[in-house]
Structure 1
């Protein structure tokens, strides 16, 4: 159970932190908003959250790739 909790803390909560940094809002309030909206709309924000997490990971990989290409 602790491994699963650590996985989510490491990978999933980074999305809320990044959004909070960009908007100047605390990540805790963003997490609570996702939870409340998920209950109200029967889970559709979870899909949005996963898309944002995927996009952030891809953005990081593209930055690495561009740095490698520029090095050659």
Structure 2
């Protein structure tokens, strides 16, 4: 049951932790723990950053897909 929940969140999350981990060569688990612990300490501010970064990454991926479709023509 726990594995199904973890798989659900990994599949439908924004991929912010993965992007930051690849970008800065840091373990994804450490970044996730940072967001969890800092959200308790900073009363949710890191969650606002996480959602904002997810929206930016989603728009960025959308623009990349649109550019490749236009160049395929």
TM-score (norm 1): 0.83
* Cross-structure match for 2:58: 57
Structure 1 Cα separation of the partners of residues 29 and 6 of structure 2: 17
Residues 14 and 54, structure 2, Cα contact 8 Å, conserved in 1: no
Residue deviations 1:9-47 (CA, integer Å, cap 9, x gap): 213262101110100000000000001110011001101
Contiguous gaps of at least 5 residues in structure 2: none
TM-score (norm 2): 0.82
* Cross-structure match for 1:41: 42
Q: Name the count of aligned residue pairs.
A: 72
Structure 1 Cα separation of the partners of residues 7 and 30 of structure 2: 20
Residues 35 and 47, structure 2, Cα contact 8 Å, conserved in 1: yes
Contiguous gaps of at least 5 residues in structure 1: none
1 or 2 for the larger relative contact order (CA 8 Å, sep ≥6)? 2
- After superposition, the CA RMSD in angstroms is 2.0
